[in-house]
Structure 1
Amino acid sequence: MRRSVVLVLILLAAGCGAQSPSAPPPSASETSSRPPSALRPPGPLRPTAQRRPAREPTPAAEARPVKVPYTASGRYSVVRGRAPARPGPGEVVRYLVEVEGGLPFDGDAFAAAVHRTLNDPRGWAPFQRVDHGPVRVRVALSSPAMTDRQCLPLRTGGDLSCWNGTRSIINARRWAAGVPQYEGDLAAYRDYVISHEVGHSLGHGHTGCPGPGRPAPVMAQQSKSLGGCRPNPWPYPSRPKDRRPGRDR
């Protein structure tokens, strides 16, 4: 009897130690919080898309369509500031810039454009911009109505620019849109109209096209017609171009 009890106790003890308690199931945070991709072997690496740098503005981007009123304030204001003449041979010409009030153009930007044109090596001479004192020429951005009045007795018809007295009068309509014969190159046309009207202030008269396909002289009336010539905005186009940024056209 005693042996039977001992045998039963031994068998019971052996059965209890043969199997350990089962481990608790994984918590939800160890499974469902993982994205499915984390459970798969990684695939082949793909190149990361590179963000392209923003394109620099081009001269064409600067010339957006502008609506110019036929009549503005009828009064000029001198654009304040000074700018030195480019170094080089020739007598320095003092000039100032005026803008009629009420036009959709920034006076400082217009003055800077005029100064770049006048001091390009292909231009007439070194020009120094001032805002007071004696000057040889005034470059005046004007509405079509103001241009018509300032250009009398010449008839500009609200379209053309002119020179009269000491003032080179730039029609804002032309400054905004150019002319068809320049085929959309507004920057070149602006160089032309400044060079042409200031050329009158230096004593240069009109001339014609020297022959079909040749560059038009800057004193040809290119705003009306090229006469068979090619557009040319410079008095001395064969001189080396200005290599400053934004001026190599």
Structure 2
Amino acid sequence: MAQRRRRRQHNRRRAKSRSAIVGPLVLAVLVVLGAGAGYAAWTHGRSGASAAALDDGMSPTTPPPDTGTATTPASPSARPTTTRPTPRASKQAPKTHKPANVPSSGSGAFHTADATGDASGHGTIRRYKVEVEGGIDLSPSVAAHEISDILANPRGWTADGHDGFQLVSSGSADFVIKIATPNTVDAICGAAGLLTHGEVNCDVGSTVVVNLKRWMLGSPEFKGPIEGYRALIINHEVGHRIGHGHEGCPGPGKLAPVMMQQIKGLDGCKANEWPYDSSGRYIQGPPVR
């Protein structure tokens, strides 16, 4: 009996010893597992917040902020799909004078303006006529007087002191200024090997051919009034008549030479329709071949 009692006491002491060891171990495991579950939940919440922030700032309907710095996503699969906003037109379109109708073709026959004027300038006085194609709504006489005023302007070619001009309606003439529809301009200039594409003017032999489209609508490169652009057309083409070639922009912010092909772009220059400034200085740029 005594031996059996001692054995039971021994087993109880062993059980208590095991409980003392296993209990803390189980508790430690539970703590670790609990902490792991808490960390997983915390990181899940952080990941969700980051994704939401990306969705809010980089959604397909909202363009990303333009910081000026390119960035690379962490992975290709994480690259958001973005749609750039469609460019909008300028709030204010360039002002141009647009008549009711600028026909592409006329009658092909020309009417000489019944208008004359006094000679302007000094030295060589060149006589010229103005002709307007039939079938268009433009008075030859009105156009002729406008051209005469341009060539007599003190900022025009007469400022050089050795060139002058006189509008005539009959007799001999040194050159003729024709105002024609785009198709007729293409035919006249094209016969001389010049391609005007229904858009620009040309100088052929003793004839200055002015495109009606440019005369009535001006040019996107010229922001001034239509009368100013007409002065540019006449001064540029008559400039060729008296021996001037094409010139380029002399520098950003400076006036464009009248012999610059301003309709092709200003290259930083300011649009200008006169060969000379108000002080009598020639507005010159580098020669262009």
Which of the five TM-score ranges fits, normalised by the shorter chain?
0.5 to 0.7
Choose from 113, 121, 139 the match for 1:79.
113
Normalising by structure 1, report the TM-score: 0.68
Structure-2 residue corresponding to 1:11: none
RMSD: 1.9
Misfit runs of 4+, over 3 Å: none
Unaligned runs of 5+ in 1: 1-62, 241-249
Contact 2:128 2:166 in 1 (8 A): yes
Choose from 179, 186, 190 the match for 1:141.
179
> Which structure has the larger Rg over C-alpha atoms?
2
Choose from 193, 198, 214 the match for 1:174.
214
Rounded Cα–Cα distance in structure 1 between residues aligned with 2:189 and 2:268:
28
Q: Indicate the structure with greater helix content.
A: 2
* Identical pairs, percent: 41
> Is the deviation greater in 141-150 or in 180-189?
180-189
Structure-2 residue corresponding to 1:131: 169
- 3-state SS of 2:274 partner: coil
Unaligned runs of 5+ in 2: 1-96, 159-163, 281-289
Rounded Cα–Cα distance in structure 1 between residues aligned with 2:175 and 2:275:
17
Rounded Cα–Cα distance in structure 2 between residues aligned with 1:238 and 1:202:
21
CA 1:211–1:119 in 2, change beyond 3 Å: closer, same or farther? same
> Aligned ranges for residues 147-166 of structure 1 at < 5 Å?
147-152=185-190, 153-166=193-206
Normalising by structure 2, report the TM-score: 0.59
Contact 1:179 1:223 in 2 (8 A): yes
1:117 paired with 2:150, answer yes
Amino acid corresponding to residue 175 of structure 1 in structure 2? W
Contact 1:121 1:239 in 2 (8 A): no
Bigger relative contact order, structure 1 or 2, given CA contacts below 8 A and separation 6+?
1
Rounded Cα–Cα distance in structure 1 between residues aligned with 2:115 and 2:146:
14
1:102 paired with 2:135, answer yes
Contact 1:137 1:167 in 2 (8 A): yes
Structure-2 residue corresponding to 1:93: 126
Rounded Cα–Cα distance in structure 1 between residues aligned with 2:213 and 2:122:
34
**Aligned pairs, number:** 179
- 3-state SS of 2:173 partner: coil
Rounded Cα–Cα distance in structure 1 between residues aligned with 2:279 and 2:211:
28
